Structures are given as structure tokens and as C-alpha cells.
Amino acid sequence: MREKIFKVIEASDGNDLWSSLYDYFTMCIIILSLVPLAFKESYKAFEIIDYVCVAIFIIDYLLRWLTADYKFGKKNALSFLRYPFCFMALIDLISILPSLTVLNASFKLLRLFRLIRAFRVFRVFKVFRYSKSIRIIADVLKNSKRALASVGTFALGYILVSALIIFNVEPESFDNFFEAVYWATVSLTTVGYGDIYPVSAAGQVVTMISSLFGIAIIALPSGIITAGYMNEIEAQHTETDSSEPTKRRQDLADGEQANHPSVDYDKIEHKDVS
């Protein structure tokens, strides 16, 4: 019985009808539970939705805990002790607690963790997740991780230095150093919200220099990823082109073999001897 429950509640590979239906149902419940977060007002219908969704989340959590030994492949009590501390179990628990505890409105944001639960259900769409394009992007990021890490480190250092300079050049425009870091980040990305800005000539000069350098720094990751993507595409095309002649020769050889079958010399010798 527990094994059947485990096969249903685990993400389906598309072959199990009941597991697929459960995945779709869970996905709908997750989306439904997020609907009240799009409204400032609290309605009775939203409270009912929240109670129903949380009840389903609790049942799902308990069923997964009940079948933890099948999940980890070990038929012992350690599996049941281990499950509450695995990543997705913690996410499930965090998605339940805000509705069970008496929390103020500031903890309402914790309910957004329910959205993370959706990633488990999305495994049913592994055809899309493991598509060729996704694999190429993953390979590009993996191969370019050192260059991207270097650019990220350089950008972080530039933000801190710019914040330190502007905080000392024009301290009256910033209440604390964090606001200077916020300004440096906005200037680096050339977004410019306009909520915090320097008013002195020296501060404006620092802003212009920061914006000019920001264009170059922001362009670096895009160039690295684009170059890596093109190299990966070219490498795959080269591999495909090099394998086609070999495949063509193999097909021709198979065709020749079919048209001119090999001679059975053992039968010929036997016939001559007789």
C-alpha cells in the first residue's frame, strides 16, 4: 500500500496516469494558494482557499514522510529521521507553517515558498527541462564559470569602491553606507531610479564615471555567455558534420553487404570433398 502511495505522489515520468494526475492537481493547488497574495484585502473566500490548500499540503507532507524509505531506497528508521531535513521537505514545511502559526502580516512573504514546491511538480515536464537548448546553456555556464566569477568579483569590488567614494564625497545625500551601496549598484547597471542621487558637482562627476564604467562591466557577462554559446553551437555542428561521413560509409557498407552476401567457404569445401 505504501509503495503504491509513493509511486503516485512522486513526480511522474509521464507513464503513470495517477501520478501524472496527482502532479497536475498539486500544481493547481500551489497556484490557487498563491492567488490571495495578489490582493491587499483579505476576503472570506481567500481564508477558505488558504485552509483547504494548507490541509492538502499537510496531507502531502505526511504521505511523503510515510514513504520516506522508498524515496531513499533504505528500509530502515533512518530514512524517516532523514526526510524532514532534506531540502524539499523543509520547503514543504515552510509553506505550511505561516498558515498554522499566529504570525503578523510581515510573515506573509513566507507563503511565497509554496512557489518553490512547484519545481518538484515541474519534473513531469522533463522533456522541456532536459531539452537540447537547456543543456547547451548549462554547458556554457559551466565552461565559463571562471570568467563569470572573475567579472562578478570585479563588479562587486567596483560597487564597494564606488559606494565608499560617494559616501565620503557627498555624505549628506546618504543616511548610511548601505544607501551608498544601493546607489552604486543602480549606477553600475545604469538603471537610475532617481530616488537617491548626488547634488554636488563632485558627486555628479563620480556618478558619471561610475555609469560609464558600469556599461563596460555589465557588457562583459553578456559577451562571455554569447561567445560561449556560439562556440558550443559550432562545436556541436562540427561534431555532427564529422560523424555524417562515417555514418554514410557505414550505410554504404551495409548496403553492399546486403547486395553481396558473404560466401560460406565451409560449405564450398565440404561440397568439393564430397
Per-residue pLDDT of 219-259, as tens digits, reads 888 888 888 888 888 887 777 666 556 555 565 555 555 55
The C-alpha cell that represents 207 in the structure block: 556618478
Q: Shortest CA distance to 159 belongs to which of 220, 206, 108?
A: 206
Cell numbers 515520468: residue: 13
pLDDT tens by residue, 121-132: 444 444 454 456
Cα angle 41, 47, 48; round to 5: 140
Q: Shortest CA distance to 79 belongs to which of 64, 91, 92?
A: 64
Rounded CA gap, 258 and 232, in Å? 38
Whether the per-residue pLDDT at 269 is higher than 70: the answer is no
Whether the per-residue pLDDT at 204 is higher than 60: the answer is yes
pTM of the model: 0.47
**Which domains, and CATH codes, for the chain?**
2-126 (1.20.120), 132-259 (1.10.287.70)
Whether the per-residue pLDDT at 69 is higher than 80: the answer is yes
* pLDDT value of position 271: 47
